[in-house]
Structure 1
Amino acid sequence: MGVDVAAAGHDNGKSNTNLGGILSGLAVALGLVLFLGGFGWAAVVYRPYTVPTSSMAPTIDIGDRVLAQRVDGGEVRRGDVVVFRDKSWVTNANVVKRVVAVGGDTVSCCTEGKLTVNGKQIEEPYLPKGSLAEIKNFPTVKVPQGRLFLLGDERQGSLDSTAHLTDAASGTVARGAVSARVDAVVWPMNGMLKRPTGFEALGSLSQPGPLRIIVLMVVGGAVLVLGGGAYGPIAKRMGRSRARSRTEPVSAG
């Protein structure tokens, strides 16, 4: 009794193709979950903003598009770049500034050209190159509890807390006015903001949001979808190539 070698090889190739199809489908399904899940997570956690002024340059330039994590004002810490709204500053408009002092802090400018918070000189590498904090010289302010003192990184032209020192709250903003904390500049693609390490001596810094994880999910999902989707046509083409190169069936017996 003979054994048809070509038929056996054909059956084996068909099994491999079926297994590959299953794995391909699983890759596409997992990719879609990651891809859509990443976008969904981002929509819940982040909000996009366009910054209309240069008051935060060079960290954020005029016209830059940023992603800001939705946070409660109680989560804000020194060094954070935040989005807030205060009618005594600008009516019905969001403002982006850096928190340099929180409730209970004493802030002033300047000592040896540096911002001083609670008697400590703060290193601010995010300021424009060659500039000094003393460009925005202002007297000592005791920040009331539950409020924030904010400055722009471009100190010379920023309408920040120092422009409202004569207000009843000495230029401070309520924590409840904050709606988001800026994590990254996405257009142009400058990436995540650098951590404000100069404030570490005064307490812990905010932890970055989940943006890096979200990006990995979206990119990884896209790769799986494209790779899994491309497997079918590639497998069929390879199968046809093998069929053309296969020799005539050989029977043994």
Structure 2
Amino acid sequence: MSTGTRTGTRTKTGGTRGTGGKGGGRAGGILSGLAVALGSVLFLGGFVWGAILYQPYTVPTGSMTPTVDAGDRILAQRIDGSEVRRGDIVVFNDSLWGDVPMVKRVVAVGGDKVACCDKQGRLTVDGKPVDEPYLLDPKAPASPTGFSATVPKGNLFMMGDNRATSEDSRVRLTDSDDGSVPRSAVSARADAIAWPGGRAGMLQRTAAFTGLPGGGPSTPGPLKAVVTAVVGGAVLIFCGAAYGPLANLAGRRRTAR
């Protein structure tokens, strides 16, 4: 009988299998649980955060082509109309425009004189020409028909990017003197296309209005951070949940050898 202390059991090949595996397994299990817990917080928190800040909308017409097409599903950040700036693509609802949410681009704000077109066919705001690369046909005149309006304080002048077909503030000039929309009618600002998958992505902010007083469009909302939280949480949940089965499989293979 041996008088020494046994620290392990001898295997068939003569090696010694220590008792540290159980401790390592417990540590791995703890890390796995933490990963799942953290992932759940990020995943669910990201969804809640996104649901609070963003609202999905389906674009009803092709008036904003090529930026967004008819049938595109967009994600728009809930905002107050006071936050809107020139160049923003917004969702609004105004009784003069019908009873459904509309999606248009803001080209002028309260106090601006907006007109079209100058000798180069460009839109002008307070007499300053605006180059609009986002239009469906940037080489065509910024509007097939000429117009001029002064936007009242607290209002916004809306136009579509498909100027040949868009029914926007130009058409509403016949309904009122300015054709504009109150800021209070705006409920959200478009940040991204969510569907279809081939067009999904963040909407680019335009630099067309940066030379005007007050600058160009608003900065994007926190959508990228929301998506990062949701995707990161899903990855952590998957990796944490997969650790146990993978560790058991690896243990069985070691035992078989």
Taking structure 1 as the reference length, the TM-score comes to: 0.92
Give the root-mean-square deviation of aligned CA atoms. Answer: 1.5
Given the alignment of the two structures, is residue 79 of structure 1 paired with residue 96 of structure 2, yes or no?
Answer: no
> Could you say which residue in structure 1 is the equivalent of 2:13?
none
Q: Could you say which residue in structure 1 is the equivalent of 2:39?
A: 31
- Contact 2:149–2:177 at 8 Å: present in 1 too? no
What are the equivalent positions in structure 2 for 1:4-43 lying under 5 Å apart? 4-6=7-9, 9-43=17-51
Give percent identity, aligned residues only. 55
Q: How many residues align?
A: 244
Separation (CA, whole Å) in 2 of partners of 1:145 and 1:130:
29
| 2:115 pairs with 1:108 | yes
After superposition, give the CA deviation of every residue in 1:119-152 in whole Å (9 maximum; x if it has no partner): 2111211111454243333322111000000000
Residue aligned with 1:207, SS: coil
Deviation at 1:225, TM superposition (A): 0.3
Q: Which amino acid aligns with 1:93?
A: V
User: CA deviation digits over 1:20-42, x for unaligned, max 9?
Assistant: 00000000000010011111111
Quote the Cα distance in structure 2 between the aligned partners of 1:133 and 1:41. Answer: 42
For 1:34 and 1:55, how far apart are their aligned partners in 2? Answer: 37
Kept in 2, the 8 Å contact 1:147–1:172? The answer is yes
Q: Which runs of 5+ in 1 are unaligned?
A: 246-253
State whether residues 147 and 170 of structure 2, in contact with CA within 8 Å, keep that contact through their aligned partners in structure 1.
no
**Following superposition of structure 1 onto structure 2, how do residues 153-192 of structure 1 map, counting pairs within 5 Å?**
153-189=161-197, 190=199, 191-192=201-202
Partners of 1:78 and 1:135 in 2: CA distance: 17
Gaps of 5+ in 2: 11-15
Residue 96 (structure 1) aligned with residue 99 (structure 2): no
**Aligned match of 1:44:** 52
Structure 1 130/74 Cα, relative in aligned 2: closer, same or farther at 3 Å?
closer
1:208 & 1:79 partners in 2: Cα distance? Answer: 12
- 1:237 equivalent in alignment to 2:249: yes
